[in-house]
Structure 1
Amino acid sequence: MQIIEQYSTPFYKNIIDMPPSMVRKLWKRSNILVLDIRTPQEYVEHHIPGSLLIPMDYLEVLQEYFSDKEVAVICEHGNRARYATYGMPHLYKKKAIYMIGGIVGWMSMGYEVVSGMDENGTKWEQWLDEKLK
């Protein structure tokens, strides 16, 4: 049996599809930034510790804060994250990882999540205020 740990398309060399297990390995080694593109309400309910919230509607406006980093893009089920990686490939200068199954897949594996708002959940609002001044 062959186990596929990651998938990459020939059209977008910097975008890779990975299951939560592989994303977690990279996250544990601090090799990637976990970019949560859900709404603030969803983030408060549950999120991956240390993940950075930038709601999908603000990705293009705030791309300077993450485009130079290797990121794993996540949402609740994976649909918005797929659009944010493959539909907006110009946002990522380095590697962008689409996490298959979203945070639901992450939680189904029993991986760590926390609830509540933290500093990483409010940075996007501060950055947006700075841009609007």
Structure 2
Amino acid sequence: MKSITVQQLRERQGVPLIDVREPDEYALGHVPGAVNLPMSTLGERLHELPDAAFDVICQAGGRSARVVQALEARGHDATNVDGGTGEWIALGFPVER
């Protein structure tokens, strides 16, 4: 499974970011530009995923790792963000609400 750090995420350009946390978590603060597709509803929303490579983030990296493994098995080019939104915020990077 491919993964990147939050520092690497901050440097990336043009790669879509999917936030798989629940809507209430997402509303409390998310990485700028992240699109919310909650893990709980992802099965019925697979058609909303990008066709090209994309990154997947959650709060700490556990849920997104499980999602990336499942999506890779379906042929998607997904990369997990280790440390998740929690680490992004802890490092003082900007968030959207």
Please give the TM-score of this superposition, normalised by the length of structure 2. Answer: 0.88
Q: Structure 1 pair 110/69, CA: closer, same or farther in 2 (3 Å)?
A: same
Which of 38, 42, 49 aligns to 1:66? It is 49
Larger RCO (CA under 8 A, 6+ residues apart): 2
Q: How does 1:47-66 map to 2 (within 5 A)?
A: 47-66=30-49
Structure 1 unaligned residues grouped into runs of 5+: 1-14, 116-133
Larger Rg: 1
4+ residue runs over 6 A deviation? none
Which SS does the other structure have where 2:94 is aligned? coil
Q: Is the 8 A contact 1:60 1:91 kept in 2?
A: no
**Identical pairs, percent:** 25
Are residues 1:34 and 2:55 paired? no
TM-score (norm 1): 0.66
In 2: Cα distance, 1:16 partner to 1:66 partner? 17
Partner residue of 1:43 out of 17, 23, 26: 26
Q: How many residues align?
A: 97
- Structure 2 spans left out of the alignment, 5+ residues: none
